Copies of this chain bind each other. A is one copy, B any other.
């Protein structure tokens, strides 16, 4: 908890790292205006003063003031400083205040909509490939084919489970990955995120516990939390989830589900070792807890093929296996799938039908043809080579220009996970990076509980080598800026510690 006593502004370190610091400052000031603590026409503190009072970096305050300016609440006047020019309700121009009516979950999720991109920003913080990696020509050719041969089928609703041709194509695809299932067990989703939401709807009730790796995928944290579940992180290292820790936590927390990404984990890039894969399955079986296995990056390996998925070793039908075409074809198709044991089908089908009835038939047919025609296999070879090239380039440049970052170059996937040199944290670095024109993901958004401010995630699939070069230069400059600021603040702060 940090306070500015004059203004009675209070901001707290994010409970689980969800809300960036600068947005907390924005919200605190918005509230102060709304409740009349700072009136229209009054001056807000100078950036340096507020930075000092709240013990946040100056850049955080700058970012907060800019956001408040964009929202129409503040304006700078020459010679008079920054004044409040409207209250939150006026500023939105709304006669009826919608913003105060949103649900508590939506308020927590709000920050997602603040990810704006200036064209010149290097987007290391994204979670998808840039457009040069889409198989545009193949997809266009297949689409033309479909419109020539198709009857009205292309526009007719399939079962909520999915279009039969796609279910069958996925069965074939999985066979090559040592997973043998029937088409009836394949449930098509609008991408992996919807798959997680459906799982949450089907199996989670408020108060349930879900175990995940620590760190894990932000979208999974949100899906489970929105269903009212508590997410507990299991310690993970370079060989993935620690299976001995898992056993203790299963006994203690009695979770409803375990969610894991055994191959090229998001964000760490770790591969769960073969030995641990069997252990995780055995332990989960002993405690009779089902596993959700998310495998979105397994096909994007840079050296050798990774071990088979857990699902390939799942004799107990205790694993729901999740895949998607977003990372290996194009993110905007919104087609993913779940491999679902028979007993889990009714609840998941009900949840899927409830969400959006079914996924678009057109996109399902297009993806089915993309699989059947083996275009995807050829495209994967390109993806692997190009992502590997980018990883190499990023790793080499980071070693050279930001040598204080600690990381292990991943053997596949989209992400590089790096530790910041203490005491530098993302609270300092993220705003500085934004100012320098590079967007990075802070580690705390991947944490089931507190922590993660000492880590960043860089996506190398979203940027070509030219952009990587530019991005690393900017990142190096931002790290330099943050260091300078830390030192200045330390000097400034030391004689006044007792005052605050």
Contact = CB atoms under 8 A, between A and B. Distances in A.
A351 B193 CA distance: 12
Interface string A319-360: 000000000001111100000011111111111011111111
Interface in A82-103: 92-99, 101-103
Contacts of A136: 151-152, 154-155
B157 A128 contact: yes
Contacts of A146: 143
Contact of A358 (B332, B358, B359): B332
Given A103-B203, A355-B355, A343 B131 contact: no
A95 B318 contact: yes
B110 A350 contact: yes
A107 interface: yes
A350 B105 CA distance: 10
A75 interface: no
A93 B193 CA distance: 29
Contacts of A351: 106, 109
Nearest to A205: B103
Interface in A462-481: none
Contacts of A197: 354-356
Given A96-B288, A355-B193, A360-B360, A110 B334 contact: no
A190 interface: yes
Interface stretch (A43-51, A361-369, A378-386): A361-369
Contacts of A358: 332, 334
A442 interface: no
A334 B360 contact: yes
Contacts of A141: 147
A456 interface: no
A488 B357 CA distance: 41
A112 interface: yes
Contacts of A128: 157
A139 interface: yes
Given A201-B106, A354-B109, A94 B343 contact: yes
Contacts of A315: 95
A342 B226 CA distance: 24
Q: Which of A92, A150, A151 has the most CB of B within 10 A?
A: A92
A344 B202 contact: no
A342 B202 contact: no
Contacts of A102: 202-203, 344, 346-347
A143 B147 contact: yes
A256 interface: yes
B160 A342 contact: no
Contacts of A361: 332-333
A139 B227 CA distance: 38
Contacts of A233: none
A204 interface: yes
A357 B139 CA distance: 21
A53 to B, nearest CB: 27
Contacts of A227: 103
Interface in A417-443: none
Contacts of A111: 350
A358 B144 CA distance: 24
Interface in A197-221: 197, 201-205, 219
A194 interface: yes
Contacts of A37: none
A69 interface: no
B113 A354 contact: no
Contacts of A357: 191, 193, 331, 334
A362 B134 CA distance: 13
A8 interface: no
Q: Which of A285, A330, A332 has the most CB of B within 10 A?
A: A332
A247 interface: no
Closest 8 pairs (CB-CB, A-B): A98-B343, A102-B347, A98-B344, A155-B330, A94-B343, A332-B361, A109-B350, A106-B347
Given A113-B160, A219-B354, 9 more contacts: A106-B347, A134-B155, A143-B143, A157-B331, A158-B332, A333-B361, A334-B356, A360-B360, A360-B362
16 contacts: A92-B342, A96-B318, A102-B344, A103-B202, A103-B205, A104-B205, A112-B349, A112-B353, A112-B354, A132-B152, A140-B150, A190-B360, A193-B357, A219-B354, A332-B361, A360-B363
